[in-house]
Amino acid sequence: MKNAVKLLLVAVAGVGFVPAVLAGDVTSAAPENAAQISMRVAQSSAQPGGTVAVDVFVSNAKDMAVFQLRVEATGGDRGSMKLDGIKVAKERPDFVFGTAEILDAADMVNGRVGALRYNGGNTVDKPAYLATFTFKASDDAQGTFRFSLKEGDDNFLNDSNAILIPHKKGAPVEVSVGKPTAKTREEERGGRK
């Protein structure tokens, strides 16, 4: 096993973003009982020029004290989905760190968000909220767009000892943008003439 250093950009009042170094094993395959990162969208469709909020959750994480996430949008027949905002809604009753004192930072340039709990960690079994990524559809957007965790080192969980928590990524979530294609009479009859 190789140990690697993870970098989390942390917002410090009056200073700006400060790097926080986190050690962890980044070469191990996620075991069967690994933490699970999943996503949900409130709506399965959107209009061109509209927004889509993607909520990210974690489950089966032991002593979790730090996370960093990056969600990307791909697909569509035309147009695009651009990142429009990132938020850690600490007031949500299902927030992973509850009411514990935390520090969170959103990096809109690189599309990342991170948070760390000052003391200790939380163990979560059922899905607990981490963050919301908001995407804006271009005015010409149409088709099915997929939202998923970006591949690479942009997504990680650490415990209260700064040790990497192995995790698995859930399936991408999809949102249809634009007018749905009308079915032909033949399709409505199940292909019969």
Residue-range domains of the chain with CATH? 36-166 (2.60.40.680)
- Give the closest residue to 84 by CA, choosing from 62, 106, 60, 117: 106
The Cα–Cα gap between 86 and 70 comes to 10
Pick from 74, 76, 45, 72: nearest CA to 56: 72
DSSP state of 188: H
Residue 9 is encoded by which pair of tokens?
């950009």
Q: Determine whether 191 is exposed, middle or buried from the number of CB atoms within 10 Å of its CB (0-12, 13-18, 19+).
A: exposed
Count Cβ atoms below 10 Å from residue 90 Cβ, excluding itself.
Answer: 16
The pLDDT value recorded for residue 152 is: 81
Return the number of other C-beta atoms located less than 10 Å from residue 165's C-beta. 22
Q: What is the pLDDT of residue 113?
A: 96
Please write the tens of the pLDDT for every residue from 135-144: 999 999 999 9
Spell out, as residue ranges, where the chain has pLDDT lower than 70. Answer: 1-30, 179-193
Global pTM value: 0.79
